Each structure stands twice: as C-alpha cells, then as structure tokens.
Structure 1
C-alpha cells in the first residue's frame, strides 16, 4: 500500500454535478456516465501513479475500476460521486470478445474482492467491509506492511497498527496467489545487487518516471531494499 496525495477534482466532474442540479436531477452514481466517468478515473490513475490503490500493481484505464473507499451500499448518495471518496483499483482481467464493455473475469483481490462475500482461512468476509486504513488519508500507511522473500505481504510485527494492517490484507485478499507470484518476481530481480545498484533502484521505486508512473509493486521493492541495504 502506498500513500495517495489527492488532487482537486476534475472540472468535468464538478460541472456534471452542477448540470445535474440545474436540471433538477439527483447526482447519484447511477447517473454518472462517460465521458465524465472516464475522465474522473483517468484523473485517479494519474494521481496514484497508475498503480492500484491497494495492492500497487500497475493498472490502466482498461484494467481498472472506480473504487469507493466508503462503499456505495453504505454511502450517502452524494458521497458516491464525491472525488475525495474515489480511488482506482484493479479491474477486469478479461472482457467478452463480443462486447468489450462487458467484463467476464475479475481479479480475486482488491476492490472487486471487497465488493463480494468471500472466505479467508475459513472465515467469511462480508461484502463491502469497512477498511481500517485509508491510503488517501494516512501518509504512514506504507510503513504498516512488510514483505517476505516469497512475495507474501504481512503486517509489521508489534506495530501499533498491525491489527489494522492484517485486516486490510484479509478483506482485500492481498495474499492472492497471483499477487504473491508477481511480487516474488519483482523481489527476485533485487537479489545480488551492489550498493550502487541498490541506491539507483531505491530512487526509481521511490519516484515516478517521466510519464508520471510509479513502478509496479514499488512498496515491496522499497521494503526489500530497506531491509537489505540499510536504506531509510
């Protein structure tokens, strides 16, 4: 997880709400369509550096969805179209060849997984469970998690927020096998580095590239470099 510095909402979203009010229509999420919806999601992706708000996997407009931190089912309708409650999370893995707008396969982690009942170690996790850590409100959220060499994410032992971190892992299924495998591949590339190489990769994983993108799973890479090279 990585802290998300929220930007001002897109002017198109603000104008859409004003237009809806002028027409006497409630500005609910059900009425929120393209192009304003697509523009809003692109703005979210840009402020997140094109990585998922929860797992930090690289995402794009095609493989992301608009996530509500305060779930739609539990929100005031106005909050469902409030930019400060919106994030971009992992999206569909496959689409219907006959209808590219129709998703047929979703990842079993992050926002989609949160939005349905699922099992975790024989415990039933109810859909839209409240999340105890907000990546867009908590600048320290990255420090609550650590990563094993096999790609598993864990709560930092004895940290005051360890229980909250573990709850996030459970609700969002952040140890989904696909995520573990992807993080493991990233961590393998960091083995055997010289101190100079570690410093270079530290900077690359800390910062956005020229296109404004963060590296996929950059918090896992930074955690590894911090542990193995005494980096801050």
Structure 2
C-alpha cells in the first residue's frame, strides 16, 4: 500500500449534504442523488490514480468507490446508535472512509484480489486489525520480494498478515503484475535490460514518492522502491540496504 493523505471532502459531497439536510434518510451512500462520478474523480486525484489496495493504475473506467470500513458495518453500527438514541456517525458517506479501488463496478470477471476479495470483511478487532492505506506507517508494514511476493515486514504483525489474506495481496496474479513491473524497470536479475548505474537507481528511488506532471504516481511504486533498494545493494556490493 501507499499512504493516502485525505484532504477535505470534495465540494460535490458537501453540496449533497446541504441539499439533503432536511431529509436525513437520504444522507446514506447511494441515496439523494449521491454524486458518484464526481466523488470518484476526486478520489482518483487524491490517490494519484492508484488503487488504494493493490497499487494498480486506475481511472474512471477501471475503478469504483470503496468503503474502508464496509457499508454493512457502518450501517449496522448506526442502527445500534439509533436504538441507543445517540448521534449517527454516517461513516458510509464519511470522506475519510472512501477511497478509489480497482475494478470498475460490476466488472464481468473481477479478479480474486483487492476490493473484490475484501468485500464485507472487517476484523473483529476493528480498525486495529486492519492495515489501512490511510495509516501513516502502512508503507513500512509490508515487505516485497523481487518476484512480487509480499509478507508482513514484522512476522509478529498480525494485522498486516490478516490484511494480506483478506485483500488477497498475495494472489499469484497480483504478484505476477508486480514482478512484471520490476522486470520492466530493470530491477530484476532476469530483466532484459538491467539497470547497471547506481546513480540511476538512486534517482528512481528518490523520484518514486512523487507524482508525475499529470498528478499520477507510478504504478506499483512501493514494491518497485523495495526492488530498487535491493538492486542498489547488489550493485554496490552490500548484502543489505536500509530504507533510503
């Protein structure tokens, strides 16, 4: 995962809240003319056009609005609040709970990983049992191998292990996509054109945290950075290399 820094909700959502303020039953995701397309556009821009879970490149035609805490859980919790006569959280329309993910809604043959795999999963431990792309440390809680493998960076990190399993981040098809990206960047021992210049590899490592001129991050930038650090260590004759 790459950390997503959430900003203010898009104006379309603010306007939707205002328009439905006198009809509280409409303040639910999908009701009252909820501005799905404008929200998705704003989420894509916020995330640099990367899927919040898989880091695949996405656009309006290949993404949907995902709830980090599933809608079912949000609404069940609000039902309990309503019974207790306390204010509703309405997390199913909270900006901090919305991200853009692959694939598009109702895709004919969605893959068994990412948001499709996660579906309605929510850990018994709540947010503490889930590594969210909003977490400041989410990029460091997973380790990646040159063949696209993924594992918890710390074997004792149970939440990282459960997140990998629940989202299918270790699915063979997704691992193959990560491996292909590493090969194409010349960071794999079997790359057709391996990078041989340590200076060039350092430039790539320095550039990957940033967006390009169109506001997009490089696809699979986090595992690519891990591969680049490993590749640099080999070029410089070191067994290991720390985070740059």
1:132 aligns with 2:135: no
State the alpha-carbon separation in 1 of the partners of residues 51 and 32 from structure 2: 22
Name the CA distance, whole Å, in 2 between partners of 1:177 and 1:168.
Answer: 16
When normalised by structure 2's length, the TM-score is 0.79
In the aligned structure 1, how far is the partner of 2:97 from the partner of 2:144? 28
Q: Give the equivalent residue in structure 2 for 1:175.
A: 170
Say if 1:90 and 1:107, in contact at 8 Å, map to a contact too: no
1:23 positional shift: 4.5
Alignment TM-score, normalising by the size of structure 1: 0.83
- What secondary structure, in the 3-state scheme, does the structure 1 residue paired with 2:21 have? helix
Q: Deviations over 1:109-151 (max 9, x none)?
A: 1111111xxxxxxxxxxx4233511211x21110111111211
Change in CA separation of 1:212 and 1:23 when aligned onto 2, cut-off 3 Å: same
1:185 aligns with 2:180: yes
Deviation larger for 45-54 or 77-86 = 77-86
Give the drift of 1:103. 3.0
- The Cα of 1:32 is off from its aligned counterpart by 5.5
Farther-moved stretch of structure 1 (217-226 vs 25-34): 25-34
CA RMSD of aligned residues (A): 1.9
Q: How many matched pairs?
A: 209
Q: Which moved more, 1:149-158 or 1:43-52?
A: 149-158
Alpha-carbon distance change, 16 to 226 in structure 1, aligned in 2, over 3 angstroms: same
- Relative to its length, the structure with more strand (as a share) is 1
Query: Which residues of structure 1 form unaligned runs of 5+?
Result: 93-100, 116-126
